[in-house]
Structure 1
Amino acid sequence: MSKFLYGIDFGTTNSALSIFDEEKNEITETIIVPSILYFQSEQSPSQPLNYVVGEEAIAAYLSDGMKGRFMKSIKRILPRSSFIETRIHHKKLNASDLVTLILKELKSRADQITGTDCRKAIIGRPVFFDDDNTSKDVLAQKRLSKAAENAGFDEVRFQFEPIGAAFAYEKTISTKEKVLVADLGGGTTDFTYLELDPAKIGNKDRREDIIATGGIYIGGDSFDSAFMWEKGTPYFGKHTMYEAAPGKTLKVPVSLFANICSWEQMNFFNGLKVKNDIQTYYHYSKQDKTFKNLITLIDNNLGYSVFQTIERTKIELSVQTTSKFKYSEMEIEIDENISIETYENVIDKDLLKISRYLDTFLLQHQINPDEINSLFLTGGTSMVLAVKNLFKTRFPNIPLHTGDNFMSVAKGLAYSGYLFNES
């Protein structure tokens, strides 16, 4: 019977699993699932929670009238020490519990294909879960390890995600190269500089080929949050004035709108105190129409549908010069033309942070750009036009390659079986 290994890329936006047949020494299939959970609105206190994962979660969320609990970008809560647990109906779930549900779904789908109960996996992780913060990094990997164990994996190794992407790229080259890999995902941007050599594919130890690794906690979600802040929040009352005292008006606190710009905050933005505060501001704003949109957004769990619109705008602007930021739901009406110049101005601060970090990375590791043979970009955020231009401008004379932006990491992780041979 064949012996299998799973390479798992648990991502902020999508998760992928590559099935590696260790006897045939090849990947047989790769599965992709959106990293989304939905807990139905109707639950029995005496029964386990009903939930669905991935594409089915989106369909169930819509068919359920968006009344249940919808969660995405769960990876971003892994390093958050302030997040202990969340209550969903009658159950309390911690960060590992939530991740477990997605890993279980991936494993179940893969096991159906292989006809086995595969318990061996190499799981990807960003170079830094939350910038260069050791304590948060340790916490995040501990939570991810526990989730893998809960999902049924008892033989687990971890590999940096950009190294996984590099090993996938190595399969496509014919000569030795020094490669700078940039893995731009939903939550992080990670860099790895390493020497790839097709003659070394399958070698048991590749540690000496990895020259430098680094990363920054900025990704596609950061771009979406910036867009929501600049272009979305005015439609939800960011500039609303309320009567704080007779004859004295103030602007409602901006902290309310910071919460709806971040998925890890919006996932848990349903406390009674917050809702009461919002109702008070609404009353003293003389029932401002745009501020009412905020109440509608929260009460009806519309966050995903709004961010889906933002995502669509971002994708369209990767291939064309203008797009419509258009949303119409429950009397919330948005219809605004967005040019590529406007979008790039919105994400400019995050792009600058990535660019500055890249310069620091090269300097810190004494990497001479003239010695880099090629660039390899992967991850969904690498498709953003401004991101591509950043690398083309920074390295004008170096060939830039891209792989399958959603499968490269998982495939490379599946090729990382040598990690089980290390002492």
Structure 2
Amino acid sequence: MFVGFDYGSANCAVGIMQGDDVQLLALSEQSAYLPSTLYAMDRELIAEAVYRGLPIELKADYAKKRAAQLSRARMVRHELDLDADVQAVFVGEQAVSAYLEMPEEGFYVRSPKSFLGATGLRPEQVALFEDIVTLMMQHIKVRAESVLVEKDLSKQGAAATITHAIIGRPVNFQGIGGEESNRQAESILTLAAKRAGFVDVDFLFEPLAAGMDYEATLTDNKTVLVVDVGGGTTDCSVVKMGPAHKQKADRSEDFLGHSGQRIGGNDLDIALAMNAFMPHFGLGSLMSNGKPMPSKAFWNAVAVNDISAQREFSTLSSRKLIDELVKEAEQPQLLNRLLKVQQQQLSYQLVRQAERAKIALSDAENTDINLDFIEAALHAGVSRNLFENAIEPSLTKVEALMHQALAQAAKTLAADGLAQDSVNHENISADNAAECKPDVIYVTGGTARSPAIYAKIAGIYPDIPVVVGDHFGSVTAGLTRWAQKLFAKH
């Protein structure tokens, strides 16, 4: 059976075709979306959980490659007094619940996709991310197949098996690293999918997938700028869409320009946590000598999508640094809060609260966020104006990506001799290249729900109509349609 598989930075989703319509499968009891999170009582237990879920033909090779981790997992179970059948690794909502219950005791990863293209990963780190993604994909595949059987959606009864998947990917997994980062990330995803039991997988740019879902509604041909602002990345694509294009099996000629960078909802949450919460932890306060408090420790405390920052923040030297700052601070009680974040590994909880503030500010000018897990009665007031100021640097990058995709599209059209009526000759981009003028801007991605983000995107080209898609489901729907088109002919 063929599926579209959105292995997202914030959430994961799986879709199947039901006639001409896409249906998302319920990956949790109440939702088609599974949070992209994993929690393990100990890091070494992840390999053990992967091994248990592997297809039988892959077990021997995996056991050889992960012999050390599997051996340590047995020792960890003994040390933690865990019986062999006790669940020790959790995915999705279960992972979030386990982390909130035991934040300082286990290993928690939010948005692992954000790390897959990271530069400088050591082989053991790549292996760890292979295992994390594999375990999540195993969980999702088993859950999706159980839904197929339960609802008899596959029309195969108990024999329902998902074999092929189109997996969404950002234009660029990492802002730096280029194609090497993209190859590394795709390699991790491909290996994980095979270990999870998929027979064959292929990839499709996420903004293109989102655009394909929109294209299914078009009755006229249009040039569309798709802006997909997701949890971990922002991707832009300029695509020729409509009745003359959507039946093509090969759409490469219709894709005029792409751009993408690791800027997404996670970055906005981090920026908000830094600006709204960290002043309550000492950011911007003074030391006893009158000098401003150094900011690096505060940034490391909230930079949950930066491996090096999180590694540095968790070290003993970081704890000693904060201890020294407490002694030198004019307001030591504030720095003691930062020390608690470091000691109890509460960074993810802080950023999670920033995400809640971001969501609340979609419908309100102000919100009050409870931080009593740090200190009794501690609250932080957050305004929409503060949020907009905090995320302005990120939104400036989103604007640059839109210009970049349109400039690339203009060059593509010019090279094809088709630019006469399709190019806006205002010199907007940095290199004075003309930009392709789209007929419509299609905005999707969970992060784009924010009025501040929508207003920024709509204000860049005020004379071009903006269509808002399904913020969460459009990518999965497009991936599903492409899976049917690509794999059905085999």
TM-score range, shorter chain: 0.7 to 0.9
* Structure 1 residues 231-290: Cα deviation after superposition (integer angstroms, max 9, x where no partner): 2222223346668xxxx7866543222212211347644333433443444456599211
Equivalent residue runs for 1:211-250 within 5 Å: 211-239=256-284
Matched letter for residue 393 of structure 1: G
SS of corresponding position for 1:238: coil
* Structure 1 residues 342-367: Cα deviation after superposition (integer angstroms, max 9, x where no partner): 22111111111221332233223316
Distance 2:114 2:382 in 1: 28
Distance 2:167 2:488 in 1: 16
Structure 1 residue corresponding to 2:9, chosen from 9, 12, 23: 12
1:383 is matched with 449
2:77 is matched with 44
- 2:300 aligned with 1:259, yes or no? yes
Q: TM-score, normalised by structure 1?
A: 0.86
1:352 is matched with 396
Distance 2:393 2:374 in 1: 33
Structure 2 unpaired stretches of 5+: 26-31, 46-75, 150-159, 411-421, 425-435
Quote the offset at 1:413 in angstroms. 0.6
> Which range moves more in the overlay, 276-285 or 68-77?
276-285
Structure 2 residue corresponding to 1:191, chosen from 236, 244, 248: 236
Structure 1 residue corresponding to 2:136, chosen from 85, 99, 102: 102
- Given the superposition, is the C-alpha separation of residues 110 and 277 from structure 1 closer, same or farther in structure 2, using an over 3 Å criterion? same
* Structure 1 residues 292-316: Cα deviation after superposition (integer angstroms, max 9, x where no partner): 1122112223223222221111112
Distance 1:410 1:321 in 2: 32
Q: TM-score, normalised by structure 2?
A: 0.75
1:114 is matched with 148
> Which range moves more in the overlay, 308-317 or 196-205?
196-205
Max radius of gyration: which structure? 2
- Given the superposition, is the C-alpha separation of residues 85 and 320 from structure 1 closer, same or farther in structure 2, using an over 3 Å criterion? farther
- Given the superposition, is the C-alpha separation of residues 385 and 217 from structure 1 closer, same or farther in structure 2, using an over 3 Å criterion? same
Distance 1:195 1:338 in 2: 41
1:392 is matched with 458
1:368 is matched with 423
SS of corresponding position for 1:264: coil
2:383 is matched with 339
> Which range moves more in the overlay, 197-206 or 38-47?
38-47
2:24 is matched with 29
1:176 is matched with 221
Matched letter for residue 403 of structure 1: G
- Given the superposition, is the C-alpha separation of residues 284 and 344 from structure 1 closer, same or farther in structure 2, using an over 3 Å criterion? closer
Distance 1:301 1:136 in 2: 28
SS of corresponding position for 2:402: helix
Distance 1:202 1:105 in 2: 34
Structure 1 unpaired stretches of 5+: none
Quote the offset at 1:401 in angstroms. 1.5
Equivalent residue runs for 1:42-121 within 5 Å: 44-45=77-78, 50-64=88-102, 67-84=105-122, 94-115=128-149, 116-121=160-165
Matched letter for residue 401 of structure 2: Y
Distance 2:383 2:286 in 1: 30
Distance 1:96 1:190 in 2: 24
Contact 2:258 2:408 in 1 (8 A): no
- Given the superposition, is the C-alpha separation of residues 283 and 82 from structure 1 closer, same or farther in structure 2, using an over 3 Å criterion? farther
Equivalent residue runs for 1:288-307 within 5 Å: 288-307=332-351
1:321 is matched with 365
Quote the offset at 1:70 in angstroms. 2.2
* Structure 1 residues 384-415: Cα deviation after superposition (integer angstroms, max 9, x where no partner): 21221122222223222122211110111111
Distance 1:307 1:40 in 2: 21
SS of corresponding position for 2:227: strand
Contact 1:18 1:414 in 2 (8 A): yes
Distance 2:381 2:397 in 1: 27
Distance 2:109 2:344 in 1: 14
- Given the superposition, is the C-alpha separation of residues 10 and 278 from structure 1 closer, same or farther in structure 2, using an over 3 Å criterion? same
2:477 is matched with 411
Matched letter for residue 292 of structure 1: N
